[in-house]
Amino acid sequence: MSATPIHPVKGIRLASAAAGIRYPDRDDLVVIEIAADASCAAVFTTNAFCAAPVVLAKEHLNAAVPRYLLINSGNANAGTGDAGMQAARETCQSLATVSGCEINQVLPFSTGVIGEDLPAERFPAAIPALLDGLDEEGWQRAAQAIMTTDTVPKLASREIEIDGGKVVVTGMCKGSGMIRPDMATMLAFVATDASVPEELLQTTLQQAVEPSFNAITVDGDTSTNDACVLMASGAGSVVINSGNSALFLSAVREVCMDLARAIVRDGEGATKLVEIMVDSAATLQEAKDVAYTIAHSPLVKTALFASDPNWGRILAAVGRVGINNFEIDKVRIWLDDLCIVTHGGRDPEYREEAGQQVMDQSELMIRVDLGRGAYNTTILTCDLSYDYVKINAEYRT
């Protein structure tokens, strides 16, 4: 979680409650109220087995401007077929009935165990208290309520000046395991008090997601429930347009980057935050292929956990990508600023003790120069620890 202040967003109110969806006596249900006449944008998972709430949220977003987001943890409502769709509709109807809005003005989101029926009957009892408890200061408690295997709530916030007025951008997310683009295998909710046209808001979100949530990986698994929502309440004094949108995009991107880093830092059992940069690739896809091959290599990830400067594992990962006409003597690899590989082998100046110093750090960079072209990419990942296996082996117990 960011140590910076979390600024409330005018026109956005949040509340959390315990509905007993999976565990007793813990907040597991969140309502976010969006001001009338606001705009809303979203991106969702590309997983073919997308969850019922994802399907329904897309339908509702295409039909109406949302007034409420309804988020539950403890149950993903994914892989649940027609019963899952019915449960998602029932939960939206429960909130719509009490709040007085239309059912398609409610967007549902779920996170938790896949393949178990969502207990929709537990939602109605909690909803009146949620609506009574709505508060612009509710971000912290809401961020805790949407956690699953997360160890800390994740929030980020910016307050900037645009055209002489203040603009707030605040967001929260959950995510720790099953992290891999695209989307970023997590739930994220970002809000601003600025007025932003819907089309510009959607473009902003897509441009902010690409270098943040779509550039992280913990374990290479995408989930069925990924979603990222950007809400613009319009309750502030600033109107975003083509002339000032760059400043707004910068603030949204910074919030998304903070949240994305928090997800990787909190990767299940993670002890290291690792930036992987690939330079001088022939194409962008080639750069991404190399970066993700390194990031997803169990041998590289376990070496990172052990703080073992076993640079041969990185070299081997690069070599198995399958690049056509690959000239290995042009490849250079660094740990932070320490060059470890040149001309297809260990750099003559490299010393094991220097590599050990870098690997002992909790944050480090692996940089690969392919010597092939002008394309580059950067992603974030983490190590693979004993705890990752334990957490995921015991997830349902």
105 or 47: which carries more pLDDT confidence? 105
Position 199 in a domain: yes
What are 372-397's pLDDT values in tens digits?
A: 999 999 999 988 888 777 766 776 65
**260 and 294, same domain (yes or no):** no
- Cα within 13 Å of Cα(319), Cβ side: 11
Looking at the chain, the whole-number percentage of residues with pLDDT higher than 90 is 79
Tens digits of residue pLDDT in 4-45: 799 999 999 999 999 999 888 899 999 999 999 999 999 987
Percentage, residues of the chain above pLDDT 70: 93
What value does the mean pLDDT of the chain take?
A: 91
| 184 — pLDDT class (breaks 50, 70, 90) | very low
Specify the number of domains making up the chain.
2
Q: How far apart are CA 36 and CA 24, in angstroms?
A: 34
Has residue 4 been placed in a domain?
Answer: no
Range(s) of the domain holding residue 47:
12-265
Helix (H, G, I), strand (E, B) or coil at 267: coil
pLDDT band at 223 (very low <50, low <70, confident <90, very high): low
- Specify if 99 maps to a domain: yes
pLDDT at 2: 45
pLDDT of amino acid 114: 85
| CATH number assigned to the domain comprising residue 85 | 3.60.70.12
- Note whether 120 and 224 are same-domain residues: yes
Active site residues: 185
Q: Are residues 136 and 285 in the same domain?
A: no
Strand partners, 273: 363, 382
pLDDT of residue 395: 60
Residue 1 lies in a domain: no
First to last CA, the chain: 27
Edge-first strand order for the sheet with 375-382 is 345-346, 338-342, 332-335, 363-369, 273-281, 375-382
Same domain flag for 296 and 229? no
| Predicted confidence (pLDDT) per residue in 266-290, tens digit | 776 788 999 999 999 999 999 999 9
| Residues 335, 316 share a domain | yes
CB distance 59 to 66 below 8 Å: no
Q: Do both 389 and 300 map to the same domain?
A: yes
Average of per-residue pLDDT across 184-202: 90
Residue at token pair 């992280």: 216
CATH of the domain at 389: 3.10.20.340
5 lies in some domain: no
CA distance 236 to 170: 14
Find out whether 224 and 78 touch, Cβ atoms under 8 Å. yes
Q: pLDDT tens digits for 309-352?
A: 999 999 999 999 999 999 999 999 999 999 999 998 999 999 99
The residue-averaged pLDDT of 237-266 equals 94
111 & 64 share domain: yes
**pTM given for the model:** 0.88
- If asked whether residues 98 and 225 sit together in one domain, one would say yes
The CA–CA distances, whole Å, from 344 to 152, 207, 331, 332, 338 equal 42, 36, 6, 8, 16
The residue from 233, 265, 297 where one domain ends is: 265
Are 259 and 373 in the same domain?
A: no
Mean pLDDT, range 75-98, rounded to an integer? 95
Mean pLDDT of 50-57: 92
Q: Are residues 137 and 235 in the same domain?
A: yes
Per-residue confidence (pLDDT) for residue 183, from 0 to 100: 42
